């Protein structure tokens, strides 16, 4: 690092707060200090930058300790009218220069980043003016050092250009999902209709994705153009749904939804329409600021930590261009701040001017695809009558994973909407072999979206060649022309048995698609497996609770997580919980390394630590179980700390799926259904794996996917998540330049 470029940075959080800001502050602080850069935390956003004085606080390593699980922001935030003025920004420049700050990391939404861009563009003019006033030395204006600005997207609305997700959006979405799940249960009991208003003044992300994740029956968002008869179409659709057997209706409306003339659509307006047209007394629930609150989700904590690290790497680098660091296709990406601000303002302008189609285009293809998907899922019945296309069979195999039902629900409705018959298979491949199958209808899956496990049943079953004649018989009897198999590596292996049987049983040579669903995160052909996010949140919730049990005692907890021989859950949980260390199968740990890790913990407790969290994958050691590891650490602690163990077990697979797993499950289910219908129509055969990679949703030939596996360790040869091992180690250090585990 060139010390002349950046030696001291400031951090502010500005505008509306969002869960995950503290994780970003923690990562920025520790990554900067570890690289020899001083850190100043500036309180109360841009207002604090203008006020100066006590609002500027020198941060050390422990300033960012213990904040990972907190909602909001420890720096505080405020909306500043004075910063919107030239004199206000000039005062901000004066304070920043006097504090010796060379660069600024700004966590916030459109308004905050627009202010950051103005500050950057005016920097030289402000220096000259301040020098002319005698407020700053003249040489500062004559030879100004480049001032660095990096933005991080912080907004629950997820309305910022240059990132797939903004800090706070995932947590807000989970809050919405939890609320609507609870409303759905009471609505179903009383056959009621609920109108739920969510945030999003100019962006319908929360309403749209909330509707996908909860199985809502109608959605109203700012980006969608509504004609004068929108209320007629809505009430007719709801009426048809009730006639088809639906017991309740959920309508999600973004607070910024508008009529075609630009007037706002309020929840009370919808309530009145339902009363007048359907005679329904709908209940209105405005979720409000509860969407901003609460502890950040696991995804939020990991993403914010990654963005914070990337912000530091950029701000100390050679390029002075102001940028925003976002997450695009699961990779951090720097986008020029001028482009971010211009594109975000363009969307807002199109909405304000009533150019809704243009606004929808600017939101991107993924947003439009989600809206199209929702329009299919919310139908009361299929668009097309059943045609003579044979049947697609769908099943779930191996250990169940949260989010499987989202895949099944979406695949069924996408296929049935095109007139394609679908059958469900009970208990995976065992059911396929014994012919335990039934026709699935549109309304059969109505309430599956928020259910854990698999409604079809998912069991471990070792499929052998002896089962193939039974499967052939089932395929013939039901005229099955395609198979969608949802599950983990067990399921992939069973599909492999079918593929190997093609030569002896030509009837098996039908298109097959594997959809990745396992909490272990150990599948080839995808970086995202359905169920892993729910499991990770279950782990994080458990560890957050464990932390409160430490009391005044010096205590270390070894928390064992699942994953077989894959350390995905272990590493991600370590980052998301702020663990002191992670013991992963990929590290090939030995007794010697265990003793060294224990020594690091011992030194940390001697320096004042009261609690230590060790995340241990279930097969981190070939021969040592968690109890043995606990005994070793206890014996080698020299009475510096106690050691407790917590084996989380099957609670990691339990509970309702998170919003992320429901949305990605729906996404993959839709792609799988469309692909297999295309294969059937074009008479293509062969097995494929659908997955989510850096370039989006991809299909990988089955043989190619299996070739990516390290079969000895039951995990892919290449595991992209391991690139964040260094980040986990940095954040776990007791101080800059020290070793992880010491503090």
Judge whether residue 158 has pLDDT over 50: yes
d(CA 400, CA 562): 14
Pairing of β 249-254 and β 193-198: parallel
Please give the Cα distance from 407 to 212 (Å, whole number): 12
Of 634, 612, 623, 637, which is closest to residue 585 (Cα–Cα)? 623
Element (H, E) at 534: helix 532-547
Provide the strand spans (E) within 138-223.
148-153, 193-198, 218-220
Mean pLDDT, residues 412-435 taken together = 97
Q: What is the mean pLDDT of residues 614-640?
A: 95
pLDDT of 130: 95
Tens digit of each residue's pLDDT (9 = 90 or more) over 514-536: 999 999 999 999 999 999 999 99
What is the structure's pLDDT at 607? Answer: 77
User: How large is the average pLDDT for residues 350-375?
Assistant: 92
- Nearest CA to 732 out of 548, 593, 583 is that of 583
How high does pLDDT run on average in the chain? 94
Cα separation of 94 and 636, whole Å? 54
Q: Read off the pLDDT band of 734 (50, 70, 90).
A: confident
Q: Which domains does the chain have, with CATH numbers?
A: 8-163+296-328 (3.40.50.450), 169-292 (3.40.50.460), 384-529+657-712 (3.40.50.450), 533-655 (3.40.50.460)
Q: Is residue 738 over pLDDT 80? A: no
Distance (Å, whole) CA 621 – CA 650: 20
pLDDT tens column, 78-94? 889 999 999 999 999 99
pLDDT at 5: 63
User: CA dist 694 to 310, 328, 691, Å?
Assistant: 17, 8, 10
Q: What is the pLDDT of residue 3?
A: 43
Question: So what's the pLDDT on residue 4?
Answer: 55
Residue pLDDT, tens place only, 296-322: 999 999 999 999 999 999 999 999 999
Catalytic residue among 157, 159, 217, 520: 157
Rg of the chain on CA atoms, in Å = 27
CA atoms of 115 and 34, how far apart (whole Å): 29
Q: What is the mean pLDDT of residues 700-719?
A: 96
Q: How far apart are CA 1 and CA 313, in angstroms?
A: 10
Higher local confidence (pLDDT), 354 or 113 = 113
Between strands 512-516 and 218-220, the pairing is: unpaired
HEC letters along 330-368: CEEEEEEHHHHHHHHHHHHHHHHCCCHHHHHHHHCHHHH
pLDDT at 253 over 80: yes
Residue 709 has pLDDT above 50, yes or no: yes
pLDDT tens column, 568-601: 999 999 999 999 999 999 999 999 999 999 998 8
pLDDT for residue 743 is more than 60:
no
**DSSP assignment of 371-391:** HHHHHHHT-SS-SS---S--E
> What are 251's two structure tokens?
């309508």
- Two tokens at 586? 């990929």
Work out the average pLDDT over 192-201: 95
Q: What is the pLDDT of residue 437?
A: 97
Count of CB atoms situated within 10 Å of the CB of 293? 15
Has 427 been annotated as catalytic?
no
CB 45 within 8 Å of CB 112: yes
Q: Is the pLDDT of residue 1 over 70?
A: no
Q: Which pTM does this prediction carry?
A: 0.95
Residue written as token pair 């003793």: 595
Tell me what the mean pLDDT of segment 430-451 comes to.
96
**Percent of all residues in the chain with a pLDDT value above 70, rounded to a whole number:** 98
Could you give the count of Cα atoms lying within 13 Å of 684 in the half-sphere of its Cβ? 13
Mean pLDDT of the region 488-513: 96
Residue in the structure block whose two tokens are 């706070």 = 168
> How many whole angstroms separate alpha carbon 545 and alpha carbon 303?
22
């Amino acid at each position: 690092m060139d010390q002349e470029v950046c030696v001291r940075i400031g951090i502010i959080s500005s505008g509306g707060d969002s869960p995950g800001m503290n994780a970003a502050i923690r990562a920025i602080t520790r990554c900067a200090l570890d690289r020899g850069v001083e850190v100043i935390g500036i309180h109360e956003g841009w207002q604090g930058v203008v006020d100066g004085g006590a609002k500027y606080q020198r941060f050390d390593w422990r300033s960012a300790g213990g904040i990972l699980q907190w909602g909001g922001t420890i720096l505080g935030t405020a909306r500043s009218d004075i910063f919107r003025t030239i004199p206000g920004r000039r005062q901000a420049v004066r304070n920043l220069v006097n504090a010796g700050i060379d660069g600024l990391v700004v966590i916030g939404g459109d308004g905050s980043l627009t202010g950051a861009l103005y500050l950057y563009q005016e920097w030289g003019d402000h220096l000259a003016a301040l020098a002319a006033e005698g407020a700053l030395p003249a040489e500062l204006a004559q030879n100004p050092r480049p001032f660095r600005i990096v933005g991080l997207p912080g907004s629950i609305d997820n309305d910022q250009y240059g990132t797939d997700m903004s800090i706070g959006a995932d947590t807000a979405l989970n809050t919405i999902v939890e609320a609507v799940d609870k409303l759905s249960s009471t609505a179903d009991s009383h056959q009621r209709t609920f109108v739920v208003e969510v945030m999003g003044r100019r962006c319908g992300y929360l309403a749209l994705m909330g509707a996908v994740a909860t199985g809502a029956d109608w959605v109203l968002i700012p980006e969608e153009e509504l004609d004068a008869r929108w209320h007629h179409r809505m009430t007719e659709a709801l009426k048809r749904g009730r006639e088809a057997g639906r017991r309740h209706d959920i309508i999600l409306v973004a607070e910024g939804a508008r009529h075609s003339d630009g007037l706002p659509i309020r929840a009370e307006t919808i309530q009145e329409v339902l009363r007048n047209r359907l005679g329904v007394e709908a209940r209105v629930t405005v979720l409000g600021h509860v969407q901003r609150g609460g502890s950040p989700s696991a995804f939020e904590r990991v993403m914010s930590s990654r963005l914070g690290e990337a912000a530091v790497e950029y701000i100390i680098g050679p390029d002075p261009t102001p940028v925003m660091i976002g997450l695009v296709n699961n990779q951090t990406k720097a986008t020029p701040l001028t482009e971010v601000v211009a594109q975000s303002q363009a969307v807002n302008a199109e909405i304000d001017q009533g150019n809704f189609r243009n606004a929808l285009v600017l939101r991107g293809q993924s947003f439009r695809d989600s809206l199209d998907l929702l329009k299919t899922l919310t139908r009361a019945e299929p668009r097309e009558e059943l045609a003579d296309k044979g049947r697609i069979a769908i099943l779930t195999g191996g250990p169940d994973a949260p989010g499987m039902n989202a895949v099944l629900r979406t695949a069924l409705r996408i296929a049935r909407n095109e007139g394609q018959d679908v059958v469900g298979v009970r208990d995976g491949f065992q059911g396929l072999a014994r012919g335990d199958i039934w026709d699935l209808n549109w309304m059969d899956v109505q309430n599956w979206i928020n259910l854990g496990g698999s409604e079809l049943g998912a069991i471990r079953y070792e499929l052998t060649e002896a089962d193939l004649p039974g499967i052939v018989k089932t395929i013939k009897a039901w005229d099955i022309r395609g198979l969608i198999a949802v599950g983990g590596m067990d399921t992939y292996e069973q599909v492999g048995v079918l593929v190997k049987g093609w030569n002896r049983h030509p009837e098996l040579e039908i298109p097959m698609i594997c959809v990745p669903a396992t909490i272990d995160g150990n599948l080839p052909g995808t970086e995202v497996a359905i169920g892993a996010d729910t499991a990770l949140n279950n782990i994080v919730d458990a560890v957050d609770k464990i932390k409160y049990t430490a009391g005044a005692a010096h205590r270390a907890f070894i928390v064992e997580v699942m994953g077989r021989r894959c350390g995905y859950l272990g590493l991600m949980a370590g980052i998301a919980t702020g663990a002191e260390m992670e013991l992963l199968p990929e590290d090939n740990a030995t007794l010697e390394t265990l003793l060294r890790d224990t020594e690091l913990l011992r030194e940390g407790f001697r320096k004042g630590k009261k609690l230590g969290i060790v995340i241990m994958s279930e097969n981190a050691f070939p021969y040592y179980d968690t109890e043995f590891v606990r005994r070793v650490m206890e014996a080698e602690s020299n009475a510096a700390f106690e050691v407790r163990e917590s084996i989380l077990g099957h609670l990691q697979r339990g509970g309702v799926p998170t919003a992320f797993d429901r949305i990605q499950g729906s996404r993959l289910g839709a792609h799988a259904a469309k692909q297999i219908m295309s294969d059937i129509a074009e008479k293509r055969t062969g097995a494929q794996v659908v997955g989510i990679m850096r370039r989006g949703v991809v299909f990988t030939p089955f043989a190619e996917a299996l070739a990516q596996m390290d079969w000895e360790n039951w995990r892919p040869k290449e595991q992209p998540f391991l690139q964040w091992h260094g980040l986990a180690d940095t954040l776990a250090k007791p101080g800059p330049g020290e070793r992880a585990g010491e503090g």
